[in-house]
Amino acid sequence: MRPTKPIRAAAAQFAVTNDIAANLATCCRMIDEAARPQPDIVVLPEFCNHVAWYTDRDHSYAAAVDLEGEFLQTIGGKAAAHQIYLMLNCTVRRSENRVTGTNLLFGPDGRLLAQADKQVLMGNENNFLERASQNCDIIHLPWGRVGLYSCMDGVIFETTRGLAIRGAQLLLNSLNSFAKDEGSLHIPVRAAENKLFVVAANKVGPLVPPDLLPAVAARLQIAPEQLHGAGHSQIVAPDGTVLAQAPTSGEAVIWADLDLAQADNKLRPDGTDILKSRRPALYQSFRQPPHPRQKPPGPPEVLAAVYQPAQRGELGQWDDLWTQLAPPPALIVLPELAFVPGGQVTDVSIAARASAEGVTQLQQMLQGTDTVVATTVVEIAQSSSFHTAVLISQDGIILRQPQLHPCGRHPWVTALGNGITTIDLECGRIALVAGGDAIYPETFRLLALQDVEIVPVSTHILETWEARLGLLERAAENRLNLLVGSPQNSMILAADPDFTLWTAWERRPFDGNINHPIVTRALARPGLTCAPIYPAATANRTISQKTNVVESRPWWLVDGLVKARD
């Protein structure tokens, strides 16, 4: 299905209280406002019927809406009056006194076309709402294919990835969030990693009843205004570009024109198809019910480094720079194919010899030290050519990780790895990421499920979103320390020990960012950039009460992610 013309999408942000009638009036007023630019579709925030705070389950049931009740019938009437598609999120009464947080899509005739229950419940929601028991179907509208999700469903990758695999061109996201990093990282990365459009509508104003706000804020040791919706409703293009964005406070309507056909192009600049190159057979552990971490936490702090050579294939001043450091870093990461001239493989045999020579040279440099160095090499085994990430110590290669996914910029690779390997060192548990494997959210989820703490990523960043959003978001959503070596845009992404409102913030005051890594970007070429990383911090994955960014993933709904393509 190819749209004959761009569609216009709009998002409205506003505040909600515990007065249901007043909230309905606000919804109607904002729908009228959002209809002014004549959009095809409008998105409203999460929990439009009532502030997401209840005294008990009976209260949550009483505050919820019926599918055939006045609240939603009025909303449907507004959709019909403006001849628009309209999505909002409400708490909905279900059988046996159950309540769900549900995205509801109305058509231009006012009928309810689709509904999708929230899959990952956030904090206090776990005490009152039921999580989804099935995935959202793709909704086929006259002008494109649409998927629905809400808030925390987009802080992890599984829900939106499933929608992309099932063919969505446009994702609609209703939010109820005070986290600034949800808008700066998680919303736009869901568009870029899947190469589709996202329209996200967030709240402003208090997210708990105003009379309770001072007490709740004091309990969490934050300022009351930090429990207001963070705003920043946004519309994001398939390359991660924000096409329209609302302010951080105050009511607002944003809109943009979208050519949904752009979302059918899943090719990277090197020709890699981001969905067809996935390897579902490797992701079977996603099905497993969550279990506590098995590995004891690593050390609290470790010094690490990334090196950007003047050009690949030349270590240049690296040895001089490194030996001047006291103490030396425990771990240094180089870009991919650091020993291959220019980083380009034109002859596999020559590149393999250069790789072997580079490993030997580096091993000699490391004599008498405990430092380990990561990069990737070309290897030939049993007539097959591998692109392999390696960890090198004074004893030689101590860890190998063959590239897992086919990559357009390495057509010479004839064999791929079949799983993740790890190693436990004094600095923590390490797993390697080779080259193009860095673009797949599935790669980093596999590492988190194996309690990995430190991830050297030797790659070549091709697209702007990877350095601006993608790798930062991978570190955040999995609570990992990432060391990214690339010809440009090398960086150190440390897991912040100050994480979650349910533990003390010791290194910095809470600034509205809950789930964001500490970023140190390499500036000099050639140059060695050092920064601390925090292996022990990765053991804390609890983002809010009863919500863990790894254990709370929707493991019971991932069949589409792990099923082989037909």
The pair of three-digit structure tokens given for residue 188, joined into one six-digit string = 């736009």
Q: Are residues 307 and 236 in the same domain?
A: no
Say whether 14 sits in a helix, a strand or coil: strand
Same domain, 90 and 156: yes
Residues 246 and 367 in one domain: no
Q: By C-alpha distance, which of 500, 511, 509, 505 is closest to 543? A: 500
List the pLDDT tens digit at each of the 566 positions of the chain: 444 589 999 999 999 999 999 999 999 999 999 999 999 999 999 999 999 999 999 999 999 999 999 999 999 999 999 999 999 999 999 999 999 999 999 999 999 999 999 999 999 999 999 999 999 999 999 999 999 999 999 999 999 999 999 999 999 999 999 999 999 999 999 999 999 999 999 999 999 999 999 999 988 888 999 999 999 999 999 999 999 999 999 999 999 999 999 999 999 999 999 999 999 999 999 999 998 888 999 999 999 999 887 765 555 555 555 666 668 899 999 999 999 988 899 999 999 999 999 999 999 989 999 999 999 999 999 999 999 999 999 999 999 999 999 999 999 999 999 999 999 999 999 999 999 999 999 999 999 999 999 999 999 999 999 999 999 999 999 999 999 999 989 999 999 999 987 778 888 889 999 999 999 999 866 788 999 999 999 999 999 989 999 999 999 999 999 997 65
Number of domains in the chain: 2
Residue 142 lies in a domain: yes
Order of strands, sheet of 197-201, starting from the edge strand that comes earlier in the sequence: 139-141, 144-150, 170-174, 197-201, 234-236, 242-245
| Cα 234 from chain centroid (whole Å) | 16
- For 537, the domain range is 298-547
Does 425 lie in the same domain as 377? Answer: yes
Q: Are residues 310 and 228 in the same domain?
A: no
Q: Which two tokens stand for residue 565?
A: 């393509």
Residues 131 and 222 in one domain: yes
Q: Is there a single domain that holds both residue 151 and residue 87?
A: yes
Residue 356 domain-assigned (yes or no): yes
Q: Are residues 223 and 357 in the same domain?
A: no
Are 308 and 255 contained in the same domain? Answer: no
Of the three residues 213, 246, 264, the one that is the final residue of a domain is 264
User: Per-residue b/e over 89-125, b at no fewer than 16 CB within 10 Å?
Assistant: bbbbbbeeeebbbbbbbbbbebebbbbbbbbbbbbbb
State which of 222, 247, 264 marks the end of a domain. Answer: 264
CATH number at residue 323: 3.60.110.10
Does the residue 190 lie in any domain?
Answer: yes
- First vs last C-alpha separation in the chain: 20
Pair 437, 443: CB distance under 8 Å: yes
Residue length of the chain: 566
Same domain, 317 and 248: no
Domain-embedded: residue 486: yes
Domain-located, residue 444: yes
> In this structure, is residue 557 part of a structural domain?
no
- Same-domain pairing of 41 and 125: yes
Please tell me whether residues 386 and 441 are part of one structural domain.
yes
Examine residue 271 and state whether it is found in any structural domain, yes or no. no
> Is residue 221 one of the residues assigned to a domain?
yes
